Amino acid sequence: MPVTNLVERSRIMGLTGLAREINFQEQTVLVTGAADGIGAAIAKTLRLFGAHVIALDVQEEKLSRLASDGIFPILFDLSQSDPTAYESLAEQIVSSSPSGKIDAYIMNAGVVKLLDIKKNNTVANTPSIEFAKLAQINAHSHADIYRALRDRFAENARIVVTSSPIVGRADPKTAAYSVTKGMLESYANNIAAELKGTSILITGYVPPPVQNFLRTDLKPGEPLYAHPHGIDITELPLRLATPGLQPIFGGMVIAFGYENDGARLRQKATLPDGTVYDFMPRDPSDNGFLYDLRIRKIGQGGGDEGRLLQHYSTAAIREILGLERTPDMVIDRRINDVFETPVHVREFRPAEPQ
């Protein structure tokens, strides 16, 4: 579908209260962790809306596939902390922008675990190297890129932070992830303060549990499409990154809420083999996953907390893009059959304590 048609459709459906339209024509957008999962879905959808997309990731093969879609790939390992590496990276990013400026930066890259999540999950049993690596990937790297690019952002640039429902919670199943995603939001809170008085907006969003390789670690028996895939949740981050974002949302986090105020949208069921799994219910009118969008200030509260903004069905982005309805859940097929742990995560696991 032509870009102009997509933009026009975005004006009449979806989250138009955040931004009147989704339009990235003549805009350069940087997305980290863009080769897989939510990041890849965002990068591809940005391209459909006319963006010049710079995709940053450590997965070379998957990055090369994005290149065939007209997306500019940069191979880079965010687990490194050398300042000169980030200075060189910034030069590469800027030289890849037609305008020499960055109009939007989506801080998406992140990992839940490097070591075995079944053995290394609490503060007590997780080696410090796990905390250090996740801190660099999930938090410090985004600040390193921001620091190196600070003078190359467009005057009205938008920065979008991918937070997590686990921020602010005590979770002994993924302690390192909880701690380091909290660090990222703390960085965002400080960046928001230093950007006050400029036209650059920083916002955050909290994606829901999405079916990808991260979830195979956490819910290995989950049926396919018990939760959304990347494409299903792309509308919210795109609205936050688009040039027409309403300034009142600057400094705010919008979350796909599903367990708040005593309400639990997510439901549980049992497979014939006795495996218990949870799933998000669907809107019977469009088959989209149902969420409560909740809004709060960056750094205040945590996770998917906040006041109710509106009820939301993920079918909106599929309607805008002219895609078929969200597929039904398939209980005889599991996410393990579709997604596998990538090499850059898997390589750390043989080194785990026995």
Give every CB contact of residue 35 below 8 A, 6+ residues apart in sequence.
55, 57, 58, 59, 62, 63, 65, 66, 73
State the pLDDT at residue 73: 97
**Confidence class for position 263, pLDDT limits 50, 70, 90:** low
pLDDT digit string (tens) for 104-126? 999 999 988 888 777 888 888 88
Helices (H), 52-113: 60-67, 83-95
Q: What is the pTM of this model?
A: 0.94
Q: Tell me, what's the pLDDT at 56?
A: 97
Q: Six-digit token pair at 22?
A: 């989704």
| pLDDT score of 354 | 42
The answer to whether residue 135 scores a pLDDT higher than 50 is: yes
The encoded tokens of residue 4 equal: 């102009």
Whether 260 has a pLDDT exceeding 90, the answer reads no
User: What domain range is 161 assigned to?
Assistant: 3-351
pLDDT in tens, 28-58: 999 999 999 999 999 999 999 999 999 999 9
Q: Can you list the positions of beta strands (E) in 127-226?
A: 153-162, 201-206, 223-224
State the Cα–Cα distance between residues 125 and 259, nearest whole angstrom: 28
Least confident stretch, 5-14, 57-66, 232-241, 338-347: 338-347
Closest CA to 49 of 253, 314, 235: 235
Number of domains in the chain: 1
DSSP helix/strand/coil, 19: strand
pLDDT grade for 347, boundaries at 50, 70 and 90: confident
**Contact, 248 vs 198, CB < 8 A?**
no
- In the chain, % of residues over pLDDT 90: 75
As a whole number of angstroms, the distance between CA 149 and CA 56 comes to 14
For residue 264, the model assigns a pLDDT of: 80
Kindly provide the residue ranges of all beta strands, DSSP E only, lying in 136-279, ordered along the sequence: 153-162, 201-206, 223-224, 252-257, 259-260, 263-264, 267-270, 276-279
Read off the CATH number of the domain in which 125 is found: 3.40.50.720
| Integer Cα distance of 214 and 161 in angstroms | 18
294 dihedral zone (left: phi>0; alpha: psi -120 to 50; beta): beta
With a pLDDT cut of 70, the percent of the chain lying above it is 97
